[in-house]
Amino acid sequence: MTKPENPLKQYYNEDYPKQYQEPPGVQVEMNVKPDCGEKSYKGTGKLKGRKALVTGGDSGIGRAAAIAYAREGADVALNYLPQEQADAEEVKKLIEAEGRKAILIPGDLSDESFCKELVEKAYSELDGLDVLALVAGKQQAVEKIEDLSTEQLRKTFEINVFSLFWVVKAALPYLPEGASIITTTSVQGYNPSSNLLDYASTKFAITGFTRGLAKQVASKGIRVNSVAPGPIWTPLQISGGQPSEAIPTFGQNTPLKRSGQPVELASVYVFLASADSSYVTAQVYGVTGGIELA
Ligand code: NAD
Ligand code: MG
């Protein structure tokens, strides 16, 4: 028996302590740890024998996807930045506790040659590759365009958009029929905040990339979809993704009046990777607390 649960009261729904870390931020130092399903996600074999590469797999939404993939029976390669080793080690332990392979491949996705190496390494160490969950992203709030440096603008585009081109280009020769590519856009790709101009622009681009690529590779039997999260409690937000003063009430302006936790996205990343979504491609799935994707 399961009883219905009130979504307003599920998960953390109070103010968060004000906090800041240098980007990319780590979960091990967050006050109120994000819930990535470490204790709660239960698998039912939906991805048995699959081989997944998850970028941003150390923390937040990528960690939730990586844990869920392993609990559904997949072997997982994780990409993240070297500064996030402590977070990545925690995920590795959780994946190995499921009897699945966890391959750690730290490195910078804004470097095209690294993107290529990442794919080669994931493919050879997993002995195959059939899920790309592209979750990594950079978000730094800047109030005025006059203060947005060209360096930040370039990096945000390189990490959030160019890396998708580079990773997919390197991976396509290896991806078999039935493979699934999942990108990560945002509500910001529909309804941009005034202080996230560069980031929101990349999220619009990710939706376009996803839809176009889906049409390009449909004939190979490969599906491509995207997930659009709303405000989710992760290191991205407390490391400059939001101004510090916005942290305590983060997410409370949604219809569900709280931020989401990464685990609340896990089953969508699983669905889009698995054969359950066999007739789904070129789509964007929102997990937003009620913010409309329009
Ligand atoms: P997160 O900080 O846990 O994950 C972001 C990850 O991006 C980091 O863990 C890091 O490993 C990776 N990354 C950043 N720069 C990188 C680089 N140069 N090279 C390699 N990896 C790099 O935060 P998250 O919120 O889970 O973010 C995951 C995705 O979700 C991002 O694409 C983000 O834009 C998107 N998203 C988040 C929210 C939210 O409210 N948290 C909302 C909408 C969309
Ligand atoms: Mg991280």
* Domain 44-287 falls under CATH 1.20.140.160: no
Q: What is the rounded average pLDDT of the residues 118-142?
A: 98
210 Cβ below 6 A of ligand 1 = no
How many whole angstroms from 36 Cα to the centroid of ligand 1?
14
Task: Tell me, yes or no, if 199 is annotated catalytic.
Answer: yes
Q: Please name the residues in contact with 64: beta carbons below 8 A apart, sequence gap of 6 or more.
A: 36, 37, 41, 262, 263, 265, 266, 269
Q: How, if at all, do strands 131-134 and 180-184 pair?
A: parallel
Question: Ligand 1 atom closest to Cα of 34?
Answer: 3
Percent of the chain with pLDDT over 90: 99
pTM of the complete model beyond 0.75: yes
pLDDT in tens, 260-290: 999 999 999 999 999 999 999 999 999 999 9
Q: Which H or E run includes 226?
A: strand 223-229
Of 41, 199, 269, 285, the catalytic one is 199
Q: Average pLDDT of 203-229? A: 98
Q: Cβ distance 99 to 48 under 8 Å?
A: no
For 143-197, write each residue's pLDDT tens digit. Answer: 999 999 999 999 999 999 999 999 999 999 999 999 999 999 999 999 999 999 9
Pocket test for ligand 1, best of 234, 239, 287 (most atoms within 8 A of CB): 234
Q: How far is the CA of 16 from the centre of ligand 1 (A)?
A: 19
Does the beta carbon of 186 lie inside 6 Å of ligand 1?
yes
Over the chain, what is the mean pLDDT? Answer: 98
Q: Where are the alpha helices (DSSP H) in the chain?
A: 60-71, 85-97, 112-126, 150-157, 163-171, 197-217, 235-236, 263-273
> How far is the C-alpha of 171 from the C-alpha of 226, rounded, in Å?
17
Residue 1 has pLDDT above 90, yes or no: no
